[in-house]
Structure 1
Amino acid sequence: MRIVVTGATSFIGLAVIEELLHGGHEVLAVVRPDSPGRKKLEGRKGIHILECGLDCIGNLAYSPVLAYSPALAYRTDVAGRIDVPGGSNPVRGADAWLHLGWEGAGSANRQNPQLQARNIGYALESLRTAATIGCTRFLFSGSQAEYGIYRTVMKEDGACSPVSEYGKDKLEVCRRASQEAERLGITYIHARIFSVYGPGDHPWSLVSTCIDTFLKGGHMEMGACTQMWNFLYITDAARALAGLLLAKAPAGVYNVAGEDTRPLKEYIEEIHGLCGGKGTYEYGKRLPNAEGVVSLMPDISKLTRAAGFRQEVSFREGIREMLKLRY
């Protein structure tokens, strides 16, 4: 299959692309013209890089983008239009679209209404563009933030009351894109992704910060950490997303999470132990993040049925993989 991927240089984007390439699929990676992460994709067999920001994503249907492909040797004119043999558009005939692009996903920007709202338009325009170029399937990367403050198991058909602008706008994409996809005749998959961790994650994430601090013998000040939590290793997350996109899962919402749900404290203490007991930590010293104190208790039975997903990497194994890169 030929699959368009936006957010291609992101933490999850790079992992999903690896999963797709491993399966023998062709990837059309959409990157910003100034993206420093594109070097991780250049020269890779099976990858064609399309330079296009989210703010002009609709242009992909009409070829006014810079394109880089060692295999096809794309050339471009001064206006940035693709000049390839026969004048063909490299994205025409793509089979599916994986939309991972989202501006302001970090915690510091999740309450910025103007920044977050722009992403709704980018997602909907991507969906329309996918339909225009012939894609039959479209997967959008939603978030557990859509649920809001939950005290019970999170099921896809449960009520959603998001707290942050980030969660509200992801949920709005779900509502509007589901309706638009039906009109366009394209299968819309809305993947609510929970806490993904692993090599390549942001250095300020909880897991990365704990590992770095503990290994240096430092001190971690955290919140109460009494809430339930769920972590999913990056390669498992990539398999789940690729599975939903490729396994002909029916349209709808799917939780993408692991099978191991327990108090966040237990995860912290496991990281500390795997770091050799170095460093110290203290609970009750930090304010909650943008979503407030949230318990993550996802039900992934729908994902399992649709894509045959099973978690392969335990939290202990995942942390050990991250530690290998630091020694």
Structure 2
Amino acid sequence: MRVLITGAASFLGRHLVEYFLSKDEEVLALVRENARGKDELLKYEKNNKFKLIVLDMKDIEKSDIDFDICVHLAWGGIGKTGRMDKAVQSENIEFAKRLMKVCKEKYAKRMLFAGSQAEYGQTLEDIQKVYGKDFDIKQIPLQDENSSTSPKSEYGKAKLELKTELKKLGDNLGIEYVHMRIFSVFGKGDHETSLISSCINNFRENIDVHTGECLQSWNYIYIKDLCNAIYLLSTKNLKGKYVFNIAGEDNKRLMDYVKDMKRILKSKSNIIVEKREAASEGTPFLNPSISVLKEIGFKEAYGFEGGIMDMCDIRD
């Protein structure tokens, strides 16, 4: 199988390149000229099944290499400002549609697109209005692929729009479309300011960890488990289904994950809770079901605890 991965220099992209190569698949890694993380892909250049393609998404029609599967990760405006920038998100929509047409020209059979949990738009504030501030997570309905969607950000709106647009375009072009609603991913190489990275760094040094209240339900999936899920979605018979939540098996309060890290790392740090203002789009409340993903054979190999131990090279 020959797979094109756009946004290959990203955190997820780099891990996905490594994973597909480990499965002895051919990988075409598409990156921007100035993409941070591009140099980390150079270590694969001696592998005859790897090819680095330096090309901006605005020039995607200039790609001259055929492929079987496309995994589209490239996306501009994922930062705090860009997420609310409609013009930037509209550009992302246009590039994705053009890529689908390129898939047809290159005889690709399937296109996987990295959607987001932001499409649901469910927030802690929404939940508290209905269930009160002392809600029981187990009483909150799970977010499945048919749950209502009400994205708060232009980023989430754009991802949701493409769910419909790319499905329609793929049907017309004869390309199977897969919409991956990816939840919160962690692993080696993630941004050093992420909650997981900063907690690990502090807990290992027995430095106090300062957090918000972390009252919201959350879901983490380890990067290696995520790569396995995407590989399955690239190779399995999906039996007509095309929207998949990609997440871990456990939903619990975010603070419980923080406490888990302290326990796993046997840290003496204190967890200091600070009242913080919610983002303009609210505090995400992640409560996914992955039953549809499990139907194609997905099962976590690591989970949260195993992922933290793997990241920190902890052995039983």
TM range (shorter): 0.7 to 0.9
Shift of 1:251: 4.6
Question: Which residue is 1:66 aligned to?
Answer: none
Question: Which residue is 1:25 aligned to?
Answer: 25
Q: Contact 1:139–1:189 at 8 Å: present in 2 too?
A: yes
Matched, 1:147 2:120: yes
Shift of 1:100: 0.7
Question: Which residue is 1:110 aligned to?
Answer: 83
Matched, 1:294 2:297: no
Matched, 1:200 2:200: no
Shift of 1:124: 1.1
- Equivalents in 2 of 1:217, 1:290: separation in Å? 33
Q: Secondary structure at the match of 1:324?
A: coil
Matched, 1:281 2:265: no
- Equivalents in 2 of 1:177, 1:299: separation in Å? 23
Q: Contact 1:223–1:288 at 8 Å: present in 2 too?
A: no
Shift of 1:155: 0.8
Classify 1:318/1:36 alpha carbon distance in 2 versus 1 (closer, same or farther; 3 Å).
same
Q: Contact 2:249–2:303 at 8 Å: present in 1 too?
A: no
Q: Contact 2:112–2:178 at 8 Å: present in 1 too?
A: yes
Normalising by structure 1, report the TM-score. Answer: 0.85
Shift of 1:36: 4.5
The number of residues matched between the two structures is 294
Question: Which residue is 2:262 aligned to?
Answer: 272
2:146 to 157, 160, 168: 157
Matched, 1:35 2:24: no
Q: Contact 1:110–1:290 at 8 Å: present in 2 too?
A: no
Classify 1:226/1:25 alpha carbon distance in 2 versus 1 (closer, same or farther; 3 Å).
same
Classify 1:235/1:44 alpha carbon distance in 2 versus 1 (closer, same or farther; 3 Å).
farther
Matched, 1:119 2:109: no
1:100-139 deviation per Cα after TM superposition (whole angstroms, max 9, x unaligned): 1111223453222222221111111111111111101000
Residue type of the alignment partner of 2:195: L
Residue type of the alignment partner of 1:121: E
Q: Secondary structure at the match of 2:245?
A: strand
1:232-252 deviation per Cα after TM superposition (whole angstroms, max 9, x unaligned): 000000000111011132351
- Equivalents in 2 of 1:59, 1:183: separation in Å? 22
Q: Contact 2:69–2:108 at 8 Å: present in 1 too?
A: yes
Classify 1:147/1:2 alpha carbon distance in 2 versus 1 (closer, same or farther; 3 Å).
same
- Equivalents in 1 of 2:247, 2:36: separation in Å? 29
Shift of 1:292: 1.5
Residue type of the alignment partner of 1:52: L
Q: Contact 1:107–1:290 at 8 Å: present in 2 too?
A: no
1:284-326 deviation per Cα after TM superposition (whole angstroms, max 9, x unaligned): 42223454122211111111113x000110212211222239x
1:134-193 deviation per Cα after TM superposition (whole angstroms, max 9, x unaligned): 101000000001000165311101110001111111111112111111111100000000
Correspondences of 1:1-327 after superposition (within 5 Å):
1-42=1-42, 43-45=45-47, 46-60=49-63, 63=64, 91-92=65-66, 94-149=67-122, 151=127, 152-249=141-238, 250-289=240-279, 291-306=281-296, 308-324=297-313
User: Which sections of structure 1, spanning at least 5 residues, go unmatched?
Assistant: 64-90
- Equivalents in 2 of 1:312, 1:36: separation in Å? 29
Aligned-residue CA RMSD (Å): 1.8
- Equivalents in 1 of 2:173, 2:57: separation in Å? 21
Q: Contact 1:255–1:300 at 8 Å: present in 2 too?
A: yes
Q: Contact 2:225–2:303 at 8 Å: present in 1 too?
A: no
Range that drifts further, 290-299 or 136-145: 290-299
User: Which sections of structure 2, spanning at least 5 residues, go unmatched?
Assistant: 128-140
Q: Contact 2:10–2:36 at 8 Å: present in 1 too?
A: no
Classify 1:246/1:36 alpha carbon distance in 2 versus 1 (closer, same or farther; 3 Å).
same
- Equivalents in 2 of 1:277, 1:41: separation in Å? 34
- Equivalents in 2 of 1:221, 1:123: separation in Å? 39
Identity over aligned pairs, percent:
36
Classify 1:278/1:289 alpha carbon distance in 2 versus 1 (closer, same or farther; 3 Å).
farther
Shift of 1:58: 1.9
Shift of 1:24: 1.3
Residue type of the alignment partner of 1:9: A
| Runs of 4+ that moved beyond 4 A | none
Q: Contact 1:221–1:286 at 8 Å: present in 2 too?
A: no
Shift of 1:253: 0.7
Q: Contact 1:127–1:177 at 8 Å: present in 2 too?
A: yes
